[in-house]
Amino acid sequence: MTSASDAAHFPAPSLPEIAFLGRSNVGKSSVINSLVGAKLARTSNTPGRTRSINFFEIRRAGHPKPELLFTDLPGYGFAKISREISQDWARFVDPYLTERPSLALCFALIDSNIPPQSSDRQLLEFLAATKRNHIIVATKCDRLSGSELQKALRTLGQEYAPTPIVPFSAKTGTGKDDLWARILHSISNFPVL
Ligand SMILES: Nc1nc2c(ncn2[C@@H]2O[C@H](COP(=O)(O)OP(=O)(O)OP(=O)(O)O)[C@@H](O)[C@H]2O)c(=O)[nH]1
Ligand SMILES: [Mg+2]
């Protein structure tokens, strides 16, 4: 739909929006592509490639009109690019998360393969402070064995309780139905603007 790196360029709020947040390289663009079953958002091996808020109109199969938007946000948490990221955060990420009236649900993506990071904790505290509806998506779970994944989910649960956690893999599709159910639930309760 559009790509905005300044709050003045956000599209006028209309449909409910689902935001995808998390460290650079955690798999935000990949989760979006997996949910829609198409290469909508650009993915990359280079952390920090998404540097604006990308708004995508989402129309469900069999439905005549778009019903919601996905917003792909820039990542954070890599020292090399942290100065620019903090400027982005002040200029358009913070205003988006705190003020956007159409924001229905935030997915906070956390890599299930790495130990809890202070940057993730900051994001979760920020979301709790804004009182936004939010859910943790534990990404790249295909890289862990069953018992490793259970352990990782326990650690995340202890770290971020009571936020719900959904294990996810863009590779295998694990968690896709669960995320869609949560998306549809959040937009069904969302006041019409
Ligand atoms: N094994 C595995 N790799 C994944 C998965 N999701 C993403 N990746 C890989 O992780 C890398 C980063 O994925 P992106 O979706 O571009 O990550 P991003 O969070 O959008 O990154 P930025 O836009 O840079 O913040 C890519 O090389 C993906 O192929 C997954 O579920 N499993
Ligand atoms: Mg991205």
The reported pLDDT for the residue numbered 189 is: 79
Considering the domain boundaries, does residue 146 fall inside one? yes
**Hey, whose CA ends up nearest to atom 23 of ligand 1?**
50
Nearest-angstrom CA–CA distance, 15 and 67: 6
Ligand nearest to the CA of 44: 1
Cα atoms in the Cβ-side hemisphere of radius 13 Å centred on 70: 23
Please tell me the distance between residue 74's alpha carbon and the centre of ligand 2 in angstroms: 7
In which domain, by residue range, is 27 found? 2-188
Spell out the residues 6+ positions from residue 44 whose beta carbon is closer than 8 angstroms to its own: 29
What pTM does this model have?
0.93
Tokens of 79: 């020292």
Look up the CATH number of the domain holding residue 74. 3.40.50.300
Please tell me the distance between residue 156's alpha carbon and the centre of ligand 1 in angstroms: 19
- pLDDT tens by residue, 29-74: 899 999 999 888 777 676 666 678 999 999 988 889 999 999 999 8
Considering the domain boundaries, does residue 62 fall inside one? yes
Considering the domain boundaries, does residue 61 fall inside one? yes
Using most ligand atoms within 8 A of CB, pick from 26, 43, 71, 143 the residue to mutate for ligand 1.
43
How far is C-alpha 75 from the geometric centre of its chain's CA atoms?
10
Nearest-angstrom CA–CA distance, 185 and 76: 28
Number of structural domains the chain divides into: 1
Nearest-angstrom CA–CA distance, 92 and 53: 8
The reported pLDDT for the residue numbered 160 is: 94
Considering the domain boundaries, does residue 193 fall inside one? no
Range with lowest mean pLDDT among 50-59, 75-84, 115-124: 75-84
